[in-house]
Amino acid sequence: MKNVNFDFSQFTALVTGGASGMGAQVAGLFARAGADVLIVDANTELAEQTALAIGATALAGDVSQADFCNQAVATAVQRTGRLNAVVNAAGIIARKTGVDTTDEEWQRAMDVNAGGVFYMSRAAARHMRGQGGGAIVNFGSIWGELGGPGALAYASSKGAVHQITRTFALELARDGVRLNCVCPGEVDTPMLRSAGRATPLTDLQAQEMGQRVVPMGRLAQPEEIARVALFLCSDAASYMTGAMVYVDGGYSSQ
């Protein structure tokens, strides 16, 4: 049996949503492990700042656009001639019940959260099949399997991410392309604190949320989720494909 390798120095990795939150942590861990990293994010300024801080390259654009995803994969491949790992961490949330969700909010959640994962995974898989393999990790959610009251569009889009992952994994298993899904619970990110809220959560409110809803009694830190994503891209996960990996402090066991 070959040695397990956590050295990514021969890797080219593309991370969507890599400018902040969990995506930024994934990008940073890859960079520290020696990978050539391409950060993809809609926030041009923040993507460039994050990339500069970790020695990566930034590419600004909208993952809900298939042409952009094709371009991003081509850019990554042009840098080093290979693309070993893609982590799809880009996502948005509308904190609305189903009856209050607008057509636009529904469509945008599906376009970014599900469409972005599909387009980027498809583009990456087309290249990875030709090079003999690769790893794709999609960011799902506990709400992709459980009910998500108050965030119907988000939960629905993450359910789609889970099925995109499973189906691609089956279709590409013989090509050496592995697809897995990391499914976080409540994580202390800018999206949890601010997105869709009238006022951002304070430190105390975030702490109280963790104590109230998570069996471990606290919110996850972004790096705790990022480490699992890196594991799924590594040789240590060589026999894993189509898996939903819950990183939720015990929430989904309730």
Q: Provide the annotated active-site residues.
A: 154
Q: In this structure, are residues 191 and 21 in contact, taking their beta carbons and an 8 Å threshold?
A: yes
Report the C-alpha gap between 148 and 93 in whole angstroms: 11
- What's the half-sphere exposure (Cβ side, CA atoms, 13 Å) at 46? 14
Spatial distance between the Cα atoms of 69 and 2, rounded to a whole number of angstroms: 34
Residue 108: count of CB within 10 angstroms of its CB: 17
Query: Which residue has 């951002």 as its token pair?
Result: 200
> 9: Cβ–Cβ under 8 A, 6 or more apart, which residues?
33, 34, 35
